[in-house]
Homo-oligomer: A and B are copies of this chain.
Amino acid sequence: MRRLDRKRGESRTGSQGARAVRYHHLSHPFAPQSVFSDDAIAGMHDTALRVLEELGVRFLLPEARTIFAAAGAVVDEETQMVRIGRDIVASALTSAPRSIRLRAADARHEQTYAQGRLLFGGSGGCPNATDRIRGRRPGSLSDFEDALKLQQHFDVIHILSPSAEPQDVPVNLRHYAMMRSQMMIGTKPLFAYARGRRQVADSFDLVRIGLDLDEAAWNDGVWCKTIINSNSPRLIDVPMAEGIIDFARAGQLSIITPFCLAGAMAPVTVAGALVLQHAEALACIALAQLASPGAPVSYGGFSSNVDMKSGAPAFGTPEHLKMQIGSGQLARLTGLPWRSAAGSAGNTADVQAATENTMGLWGALMSNATLTVHSAGWLEGGLTFGYEKFILDVEALQTIAELCERPDSDAAAMAFDAIAEVAPGGHFFAAAHTMERYDRAFYTPLVADLSNYGTWTEHGAKTATERATAIWQRALTEFEPHAGSAAAADRLAPFIERRTAQGGAAPSE
């Protein structure tokens, strides 16, 4: 069974040499695993429902409280607490779609967002950027665009994410630049921040204009997605609730992501952090479904632990992986597609950062996460986007993507005749069986150097991190805008000019 699509006519990326492997569309190669019994998962779901109906969640946005009250939730306007009955949650889990079509400027980059699918996103939300040439600095529009080019370049990155925050663009105008850059550079599913109603409305307008979508096209599937973070514990702030409502009503995708760090914003136990995550996710999913029944919404979680000495978040730890796998169990209980995350707390693209991210990627595989964000380039727990880190992580992602394709198992693959042809103690280098297959038999590494110690030393004894520099440099140097890039920019210019003249749109408080 081939779980990795090989499509004709796609341009080759990712240093695949003579191999024609495509990583555009992946499905999980491994069965989802468990860390909790089914009874325990049922108990956690029930406890989360008790949290919602007995303790409640605080929604700062009056409209959110009004929506919940109309649905029969118990709202205390003084404390802004909303107690959500389990009937409301059950109804939301019934109306939320199981499969969501992620549209893209290039139809070949469309994705089906559903359980069983395997999508990777690069880093998101990093205020800083770093590389070996220029060092660590505040993120700029140039970094933001470089990161988009890298995400577009590598097939194993399936969506666009805002990796390095363009801090050199004023906040009231930043969303124009971010949407424009995405559409000029990329043809993969778009991202929009939920930083307030006016910015979200602008972003939707920009997508319609940039991609030249008429009303029918805009309403057919999801054209952009956002991440909704709760302010754990049990608090949903104004822009996040606005985002849930506005994305739902526009038929665009909210990816609900409580950030429950056990021991800090969440209980110190794996089960306790997941109960809180689950309660917050269900509350946000309920709001989306109440705002617009059937609206696309993703379950999600980003629970991990903190270092109890410093309070710093940790990633790729045993507790993070257990929470990923438990999240997958809870997601399967809801039936909804869901988002997990890898990432690293490392301060530089070293072995710690690599091991943390690789562990998180395997946690996502074991939990069958639909989408794994922060899967490439995420340093310092998300404070910094690393150029070399991105390249190094892509090697891990490509290795995993290759696992989605089953090896051949016909008689020719079993190679009885080749084994008969080669004498005991001989070699297969020149065997006909080898010659027919050698140029596409194996994955071609992106960064890994398989030369021996002598050759490696002669070539400067470069570490993988050092070698990664030339790889991102070449990817950026050789980057060519897609065919529709200039036309999209032309279409967007008048709107952006007008809105800029009007003062843009400040984020919600």
B428 A55 Cβ-Cβ under 8 A: no
Q: Is A231 an interface residue (CB 8 A)?
A: yes
Given contacts A396-B355, A409-B271, A428-B268, contact A312 B452 (CB under 8 A): yes
Known A275-B414, A447-B352: A399·B317 in contact at CB below 8 Å: yes
Complex interface residues of chain A between 345 and 394 (CB less than 8 A to chain B): 345-356, 358-359, 362, 366, 380, 383-384, 392
Write the nearest CB–CB distance from A335 to chain B, whole angstroms: 22
Chain B residues with CB under 8 Å of A348's CB are 461, 463
Using known A-B contacts A312-B450, A351-B464, determine if residue A424 contacts B383 with beta carbons closer than 8 Å.
no
Can you give 30 contacting A-B residue pairs, CB < 8 Å? A1-B37, A43-B414, A50-B416, A55-B419, A58-B425, A234-B419, A262-B441, A263-B441, A264-B428, A267-B419, A267-B431, A268-B438, A269-B407, A269-B415, A271-B414, A272-B413, A272-B414, A272-B433, A275-B416, A276-B419, A310-B450, A345-B450, A347-B461, A351-B351, A351-B464, A352-B447, A352-B448, A354-B358, A380-B453, A384-B453
The interface residues of chain B lying within 8 Å CB-to-CB of A160 are none
Among B33, B349, B414, contact of A44 (Cβ-Cβ < 8 Å): B414
The distance from the CB of A444 to the nearest CB of chain B, in whole angstroms, is 9
Task: Knowing A407-B326, A434-B267, A437-B268, say if A443 contacts B307 (CB, 8 Å).
Answer: no
A422 to B313 alpha-carbon distance, docked (Å): 19
Contact of A346 among B81, B275, B464 (CB under 8 A): B464
Q: Is the CB–CB distance between B350 and A464 below 8 Å?
A: yes
- The docked-state distance in angstroms from the alpha carbon of A31 to that of B456 is 39
A456 lies within 8 A of B267 (CB): no
10 new A-B contacts, CB < 8 A, other than A136-B453, A268-B438, are A29-B33, A29-B35, A36-B409, A37-B409, A231-B425, A233-B425, A264-B428, A268-B441, A308-B438, A384-B453
* CB-based contact B305/A428 at 8 Å: no
A90 at the interface (CB under 8 A from B): no
Contact of A358 among B269, B307, B359, B406 (CB under 8 A): B359
Given A50-B416, A347-B456, A419-B276, A318 and B463 contact (CB-CB distance below 8 Å):
no
Decide yes or no: A433 and B396 within 8 Å by CB, A275-B414, A450-B312, A452-B312 being known contacts. no
Of all chain B residues, the one with the shortest Cβ separation from A37 is B409
Nearest-CB residue, chain B, relative to A357: B355
Stoichiometry (number of copies): 2
Q: Which of A119-135 contact B (CB under 8 A)?
A: none
In the complex, chain B residues whose CB is within 8 Å of the CB of A268: 415, 428, 431, 433-434, 437-438, 441
Chain B residues with Cβ below 8 Å from A442 are 262-263, 305, 307-308, 314, 317-319
Q: Which 10 A-B pairs have the closest CB atoms?
A: A272-B415, A318-B402, A267-B415, A40-B409, A270-B407, A352-B464, A58-B424, A350-B463, A307-B450, A271-B413
User: In the complex the two chains form, what is the Cα distance from A35 to B30 in whole Å?
Assistant: 9
Distance A411 CA – B271 CA, assembled complex (angstroms): 9
**A380–B434 Cα gap in the complex (Å)?**
25
Q: Does A316 sit within 8 A of B, measured CB to CB?
A: yes
**A321 engages B403 (CB within 8 Å):** yes
Q: Does A266 contact B (CB under 8 A)?
A: yes
CB distance from A240 to the nearest CB of B (A): 12
* Chain B proximity of A36: nearest CB distance (Å): 5
In the complex, A395 has a CB within 8 A of chain B? yes
Q: Tell whether A87 is near chain B: CB-to-CB under 8 Å.
A: no
User: In the bound complex, what is the Cα–Cα distance between A250 and B362 (angstroms)?
Assistant: 42
Chain B, residue nearest A358 (CB): B358
- Interchain nearest-CB distance for A305 vs B (Å): 5
